[in-house]
Amino acid sequence: MSTDPEQIRADIDAVLAQLPSVDPESADVTGVDIDAVGRQLEEAHQILVNALESVEKG
């Protein structure tokens, strides 16, 4: 696992870029797959957890 902040940001950005675009002014989320969103957010979270663990071990 890389501990390079720029690489971690790039990895997180790549995961978050896959999230569906939702208008923040609208409550309409019709067609949004909440399970897919949850998986992508979990993936981003895991990247951060792994990076933190790497730093703590390092």
At 57 the pLDDT is: 87
| pLDDT attached to residue 30 | 78
23: left (phi over 0), alpha (psi -120 to 50) or beta: beta
Query: What pLDDT digit, counting tens, does each position of 6-49 carry?
Result: 999 999 999 999 998 877 787 777 788 889 999 999 999 999 99
Question: What is the secondary structure of 3-52 as a DSSP string?
Answer: --HHHHHHHHHHHHTTSPP--TT----TT--HHHHHHHHHHHHHHHHHHH
Distance of CA 20 to the CA centre of its chain: 12
pTM of structure: 0.81
Domain boundaries, the chain: 1-18+33-58
At 13 the pLDDT is: 97
pLDDT of residue 24: 76
